[in-house]
Structure 1
Amino acid sequence: MPSMNPDGFEAVVKPDCFYSNGRENSNYYDLNRNFPDAFELNNVSRQPETAAVMEWLKTETFVLSANLHGGALVASYPFDNGVPATGTLYSRSITPDDDVFQYLAHTYASRNPTMKKGDQCKTKMNFPNGITNGYSWYPLKGGMQDYNYIWAQCFEITLELSCCKYPHEEKLPFFWNKNKASLIEYIKQVHLGVKGQVFDQNGNPLPNVIVEVQNRKHICPYRTNKFGEYYLLLLPGSYIINVTVPGHDPYLTNVVIPEKSQNFSALKKDILLPFRVQLDSIPVSNPSCSKIPLYSDLPSQSEATKPSLFLFLVTVFHIFVK
């Protein structure tokens, strides 16, 4: 997708390093605050661009993605919002797959000669090794990377590629050269972990079966697609996979992820369940979790406006001092 906010970019008549125009769409909504949020109610008017992305995510089994921003130099990984159960009391908000997300962010940043230094943008925060947890940077609700991870089963990180929010188009070849190696290596990480199909004892592929790693329970369980396929991004190691079919006891199976992917492919492991399943007992289409705060029973810790105001004041102060 070339741009999720074409109206915003068209509004930037004169590219600059600040946020004067272009952040919002033509209806004056920030699209990266417009998605459903798992931690607190995001009671905003869902914009056409946001709705289109949400529908698009239903049409394919997306496994890995990234969204490209300007305004900083850092690879930021989920969560962007949080509650104490995800670590906010320690100024962070981590997912069940935090090891994978840190690896993905490091994979990108370490191959960008400027980003990996972590301190190349004047008046901006320093980021050790060029990566950060989104909540640690500043909390926000309604962001796309949290939505993709929780509701679309897709691991996404946010890549801030330029100190200037809106650099001149003549700089595009420069940014391509800086990010080419990182982008290619990041795309290759879709082959991390394990993939396969789940079958019953008669060889029928089973859709909408919960397939997750033990001790990595997602708040919205990850399920097989309509072909019975599953994809789990995992670092090398030994894991126990838990397969849950309605009306049956969980089925456990071991998997060992090798150190290197095999011929640009995740480890393939089909799972044959030792029982027959009534296919009509499983919904035909993926039963998505409700688009509500799934952590609503826990107190929210989002303070999205405070860090934004702080960063704004720091920028203004720098301008006056300069």
Structure 2
Amino acid sequence: MPTLMLFLCLGTLVSRASSLEFRYHNTAEVQEYLKAVNRNYSSITHLHSIGKSVEGRNLWVLILGKFPTKHKIGIPEFKYVGNMHGNEVVGRVLLLKLIEYLTQGYLSDPVVTHLLNSTRIHILPSMNPDGFEASNRNCLYSQGRFNKHGVDLNRNFPDAFVQNDKGEHELEVWAVMDWLKSEPFVLSANLHGGAVVASYPYDNSNGGKVELQRGSSIAPDNDVFIYLAKAYSFSHNYMHNGQSCYGSTVFKDGITNGYYWYPLQGGMQDYNYIWGQCLEITLELSCCKYPPEKELPGLWDDNKDALLAYMKLVHLGVKGQVLYSDGTPVENAIVEVEGRKNLCPFKTNINGEYYRLLLPGNYTFKVTIPSQEAMMETLYIPYGPDMYSALKHNFIFQRSRNSSPDVTPSTESCVSKLRNQEAGRSAALLASHLTVLLLLALGRFLL
């Protein structure tokens, strides 16, 4: 009988793709809804799992766009991640409603149509389904924040400001890290609750050598991050008012530097930016982490325009390819912007593509590839989001066998840290395998 009731409930949920209820759907219902959307809108969606939670639940990602199944040159990759803390549930609901809004609006709503034609959008409604299933409906103090191992996933990513990271990360975190390697993401946001503010990197600091200024930890692309955060807060119905929750911090313009708010080690937004070349901010969307269901329609109305406006910003700046004169793409070319010394330099992907989110203005680029003299070029960058396209510009190299490579020390340092991470992961897996072998051997001995 319980199985039959679940089947009937799911049937009600997905019988018509146009009627997603404003309520909290459990993991099984979310899975069935995403599968139904994928069936009903197969030409513009692709559903896949990026991994599993500790308890074996799939981390489902729905991709939306004109070319949903595969990255296309020149089309930027965008992502939203919800429910990283299992008891912060508003983002989970809003992302399901956003999926409904985008699929229904394609070819009828001009903004939605332009977005899906020009952008590949990835939506992970729940990064922590185990935590969600363990949570209760307390506004502020419900259980379920952590994953099944009792780990805060937003303190579990590699941290560029921390030495001797052993690579001991949770399954959900490894899944996101591998996901970042599999797609050339450009812009992202992760959705939380417990405040109403847009927070931007850095969340951590090395103690003030370069980035620590007036209590904030300043990233090289600080101007872009502030613009991204304000774009969300001023498109939101009231976030820009900077109202406090329960007498806590008041945020000017509804934004904050993450470190200035409170230092955070192992955060996901810093990892995205430093190692993933993806600018990510953290959106705190409700004072109450688990608000009553009657408030969900209003929360959707408060955030809908902001969610759409933020996605458009993936078209800021400049994009293009680094190519040899015969058209061969150059992978791992370093594309640097003068005055912006990233901890890990931005590199081209397998197609020789680069994406740099930049505000309108003049910028000087330095492009470096092995065995060639570095190329310097100054570009004027207009505002791209209104046209749903960043400036397109290719850097063309003549092949040469005489020049020596120009490799920056920051590249070597970044590569070294990444290798340490992989070594830590391999060691952890090896230890796990050895444990299994020992148990098997012990079992045979006891038999």
User: TM (normalized to structure 2)?
Assistant: 0.61
2:181 alignment partner in structure 1: 58
1:311 alignment partner in structure 2: none
1:234–1:3 Cα change, 3 Å: same
Contact preservation (8 Å) 2:231, 2:309: yes
Pairwise CA distance, 1:259:
3.6
Give the secondary-structure state (helix, strand or coil) at the position aligned to 2:282.
strand
Alignment of 1:228 with 2:345, yes or no, is no
- Supply the distance in 2 between the matched residues of 1:146 and 1:198 (Cα, whole angstroms): 26
Alignment of 1:144 with 2:268, yes or no, is yes
Match of 1:266 among 387, 390, 403: 390
- Supply the distance in 2 between the matched residues of 1:263 and 1:44 (Cα, whole angstroms): 42
- Supply the distance in 2 between the matched residues of 1:28 and 1:124 (Cα, whole angstroms): 26
Map Cα deviations across residues 100-136 of structure 1 (whole Å, 9 max, x no partner): 0000000000111221111241221100000000000
- Supply the distance in 1 between the matched residues of 2:126 and 2:401 (Cα, whole angstroms): 43
Q: 1:127 is matched by which residue type in structure 2?
A: F
Q: 2:156 is matched by which residue type in structure 1?
A: N
- Supply the distance in 1 between the matched residues of 2:183 and 2:346 (Cα, whole angstroms): 14
Contact preservation (8 Å) 1:114, 1:120: no
Match of 2:131 among 8, 13, 36: 8
Match of 1:184 among 297, 308, 319: 308
- Supply the distance in 2 between the matched residues of 1:17 and 1:44 (Cα, whole angstroms): 34
Alignment of 1:108 with 2:229, yes or no, is no
Pairwise CA distance, 1:270:
1.0
Alignment of 1:77 with 2:200, yes or no, is yes
2:156 alignment partner in structure 1: 34
- Supply the distance in 1 between the matched residues of 2:143 and 2:397 (Cα, whole angstroms): 55
Give the secondary-structure state (helix, strand or coil) at the position aligned to 2:354.
strand
Unaligned runs of 5+ in 1: 295-322
Match of 2:415 among 278, 289, 295: 289
Contact preservation (8 Å) 1:200, 1:277: no
Q: 1:123 is matched by which residue type in structure 2?
A: G
Percent identity between the two aligned chains: 53
Contact preservation (8 Å) 2:318, 2:390: yes
Match of 2:249 among 125, 128, 132: 125
Pairwise CA distance, 1:186:
0.3
Unaligned runs of 5+ in 2: 1-123, 406-410, 421-447
Q: Higher Cα Rg: structure 1 or 2?
A: 2
Give the secondary-structure state (helix, strand or coil) at the position aligned to 2:185.
coil
- Supply the distance in 2 between the matched residues of 1:97 and 1:57 (Cα, whole angstroms): 19
Contact preservation (8 Å) 2:383, 2:390: no
Q: 2:264 is matched by which residue type in structure 1?
A: L
- Supply the distance in 1 between the matched residues of 2:400 and 2:141 (Cα, whole angstroms): 58
Contact preservation (8 Å) 2:335, 2:367: yes
Map Cα deviations across residues 201-222 of structure 1 (whole Å, 9 max, x no partner): 2221101100111111211111
Contact preservation (8 Å) 1:73, 1:161: yes
Larger relative contact order, structure 1 or 2 (CA cutoff 8 Å, min sep 6): 1
Match of 1:195 among 292, 298, 319: 319
